[in-house]
Structure 1
Amino acid sequence: MASLKISAVIFDLDGTLLDTERATRGIMAEFLARYGKEPDAEKEEKRLGKMHKESAAGIVVDYDLPFTADEYSAAIMPMYQQRWPQAKALPGVSRLVNHLHRHGVPLALASNSMKQHIELKISHQHGWKECFSVILGGNEVKNGKPAPDIFLEASKRLGVDISECLVIEDSLVGVRAAKASGAKVVAVPSLQCQEEYQKLANCVLNSLIEFRPELWGLPAFEDWVQSALPIDPLYMSGMISKAFQQDGFTVINTITGSDSYLSIPDQVLGVFFGWEKIETIGTFKVVMSIGWDLSSSNAVRAIKQHLIGHINNYSSKEKFHFLIVGFIRKLHNEDNLSDVLKITEEDSRIAQEALDLPMFSKFKSCKLIQEEDSREETCVGD
């Protein structure tokens, strides 16, 4: 990829830039329950990335609803619009979009969503509208994704040949469309469990935190500090099931039920660091590896923590609050999950030294790790 020259970048929106799926989670189930129905996960997964009109028609048929597709859309859309303001930028997104815009790289948004819905969604993200010189909805082209029309039209409006465009997508539908258009493609799927992404995309990333612009002939980032990358703070909480000393660190095992971790998108994978508040003990520096256990049919988040300090007198089921403030590296490719999640001495050294810097240490007393009820607030440290 080092020899590639990219002149413009085209982004998908939902699931690529914005975490709209989690913000709107449960709406379909709530709506269908009114008619004695339940969502079918397999059918809904196949609808990811498709045009709203196409999805609406399929939903009416699949669940035998007493509507036309237009009536269904009119009934459910206000429920989605009410939640869109809660959708947050996915990890690394604001950093990348702002960086490219500052360096004068032409940017476009190309989504199967209707144009007015795209504009409404990004209106809640400060500065985003000004970053995109082209905003294109699925209702503005003849055929939506997986047809290439929307990316071809976006490149035309940008004034850049499609062969010099990089498309960043999260869904297979979008990746197929980008590939068919002749653009280069970076895939950022929510879970790294579908081999087809590897076959179609030029590059597959866990999150846009891992994106390296210089590999595409774009201006490189210059925001790393002592081998650590500052990121927008991410909050999580859970319960400690076990803590023990190993190699000079306190290793923490946690309970990983479906509701154990809050506010961490699926795309958060790698070695991170931050501040951990253990309710009855205090606040500590922590370095943490976060991945996915894909060995069974249901993917389970896998987390390993090294507390930089010693825990004494903790109790089982002790509650913790964790604020991720920095990124160190992506996970290594290993056959054994334990090896994948291994935290090295170098990781711990980088985390310990970084958390002494004001840009990271200011978050130690953040309300997000002091009070669970404050987790929806913006955390800016002291």
Structure 2
Amino acid sequence: MENWHSMARISAVIFDLDGTLLNTEQVTKNILKEFLAKYGKVQDSDKERKRLGMTFKESSIAIVNDYDLPLTTEQFAQEIVPMYHGKWLLAKALPGANRLMRHLHKHGVPFALASNSLRKNIDGKISHHDGWKEVFTVILGSDQVKSGKPSPDIFLEAAKRMDVDPLHCLVIEDSLVGVKAGKAAGMKVVAVPSLQIESDSYSIADSILHSLLEFQPEQWGLPQFGDWVDNTLPIEPIHLAGVFSDGLLQTYSDTELPALPDQIWGLYIGWAKFDGKKVFKAVSSIGWSICGCGYKRKIQPCILNESDADTDDSKMQLLLVGYLRRSCSAGNILNNLDILDEDKLTADAALNLPAFSHKSCASFFLGDAEDGFAP
């Protein structure tokens, strides 16, 4: 990866959609599994990883062939597309997506949406998010260019329609297919891998981030963010629930709460609520751990006033309201960060501020609304 000091000044940004701005891939991940089960087939995770970033047409052909389905590609599409439509309205913006788009729009920086999805499907996905369709200077689907990613066609067309030299465009992508397309277009590329455990494969990108919360526009000659409050970044609340045991939160797999996006990593501040108890200040380290079947989420909440709480083996709700930091070390490590004393002090002070106040968070917790909050 290049040193950012040597990079050309960026005049426009081009976003991918699925897995970059929206967590559509997460809310639809079980659809193919359910579909294949109807035909007595078992989903293969290795095959699915290889399809990340493909156009719908390419993906459909591959699925029919890989699983030897008794269907034509057209029949497969007719059966599975309606299953996806019902899930799109559940897709939420990924952490930092709304913040970055608002920031670029505020400062008059043009930005485009270039996705390997069909244009009509793009419209269907973003229609559930107020203002999204209006803020993009250009919106392009793979059916509007000769070839989808990894061909550079869609990015070059987006740059052309924005009247910006490709050399001054920054692509933000989650898939390796998209990263390759951006580099082939002669553009700078920031990778935010949707499969964090495969981030080492993204070395051709100019920068690799865990999430858009880590994006620093000033490194690309763009206006700097000014929304940090006392060394903490306010975020759209993220609600988790599970059992707190041995210092870890084991989240429920059958909860109606959205799953934690893979892009969430680092230190976060928030509020921890235990059954029948008050709500406590918390700072949480979120990362990954290696297990026998690969990688799994590791969530380590630290209760700041733990002397008041007998919490082990208790049901727990965790509301993340602020982002503290990532690692100070180079590289895209996945293991959890140590929570330092200075992190606890920063979190404790920030959680007293209106931007992170528990008073605005009470409605997010499930049940026991009458329980008090620990100071």
TM-score over 0.5 for the alignment?
yes
Q: Which amino acid is the alignment partner of residue 266 of structure 2?
A: G
Match of 2:16 in 1: 12
Match of 2:280 in 1: 284
From 30, 36, 51, the equivalent of 2:55 is: 51
Question: Does residue 356 of structure 1 match 2:344?
Answer: no
Question: Does residue 2 of structure 1 match 2:29?
Answer: no
1:367 Cα shift? 2.7
**Mapped contact 2:288–2:335 kept (Cα < 8 A):** no
- Taking structure 2 as the reference length, what is the TM-score of the superposition? 0.91
1:299-323 residue CA offsets vs partner (Å, 9 max, x unmatched): 1112222111125573653100011
- Taking structure 1 as the reference length, what is the TM-score of the superposition? 0.89
**Mapped contact 1:106–1:132 kept (Cα < 8 A):** yes
Q: Which amino acid is the alignment partner of residue 50 of structure 1?
A: M
What CA RMSD, in Å, does the superposition of the two structures yield over aligned residues? 2.3
Q: Which amino acid is the alignment partner of residue 122 of structure 1?
A: I
1:240-270 residue CA offsets vs partner (Å, 9 max, x unmatched): 123xxxxxxxxx3333676699531110001
From 348, 367, 373, the equivalent of 1:371 is: 367
SS at match of 1:286: strand
1:38 Cα shift? 1.4
SS at match of 1:285: strand
The separation in 1 between residues aligned to 2:123 and 2:330, in whole angstroms, is 42
**Mapped contact 2:242–2:249 kept (Cα < 8 A):** yes
Question: Does residue 266 of structure 1 match 2:230?
Answer: no
Match of 1:301 in 2: 297
**Mapped contact 2:151–2:181 kept (Cα < 8 A):** yes
Q: Which runs of 5+ in 1 are unaligned?
A: 243-251, 374-382
Question: Does residue 118 of structure 1 match 2:122?
Answer: yes
Question: Does residue 98 of structure 1 match 2:110?
Answer: no
**Mapped contact 1:269–1:331 kept (Cα < 8 A):** no
* Distance of aligned partners of 1:61 and 1:140 in 2 relative to their CA distance in 1, 3 Å threshold: same
1:50-98 residue CA offsets vs partner (Å, 9 max, x unmatched): 0100110111111122221111111110110111000000000000011
**Mapped contact 1:115–1:137 kept (Cα < 8 A):** yes
**Mapped contact 2:235–2:322 kept (Cα < 8 A):** yes
1:295 Cα shift? 7.0
Where in structure 2 are the equivalents of 1:1-382 lying within 5 Å? 1-3=4-6, 4-194=8-198, 196-242=200-246, 252-255=247-250, 263-294=259-290, 298-311=294-307, 314=310, 316-333=312-329, 340-363=336-359, 365-371=361-367
The separation in 1 between residues aligned to 2:259 and 2:327, in whole angstroms, is 21
1:24 Cα shift? 1.1
The separation in 1 between residues aligned to 2:164 and 2:293, in whole angstroms, is 43
**Mapped contact 2:64–2:73 kept (Cα < 8 A):** yes
Q: Which amino acid is the alignment partner of residue 241 of structure 1?
A: S
Instruction: State, as a whole percentage, how many aligned pairs show the same letter.
Output: 50
**Mapped contact 1:148–1:180 kept (Cα < 8 A):** yes
The separation in 2 between residues aligned to 1:232 and 1:5, in whole angstroms, is 30
* Distance of aligned partners of 1:195 and 1:369 in 2 relative to their CA distance in 1, 3 Å threshold: closer
Residues matched between the structures, number: 363
Q: Which amino acid is the alignment partner of residue 236 of structure 2?
A: D
SS at match of 1:61: helix
Q: Which runs of 5+ in 2 are unaligned?
A: 370-375
The range that moved more, 204-213 or 54-63, is: 54-63
Q: Which amino acid is the alignment partner of residue 254 of structure 1?
A: L
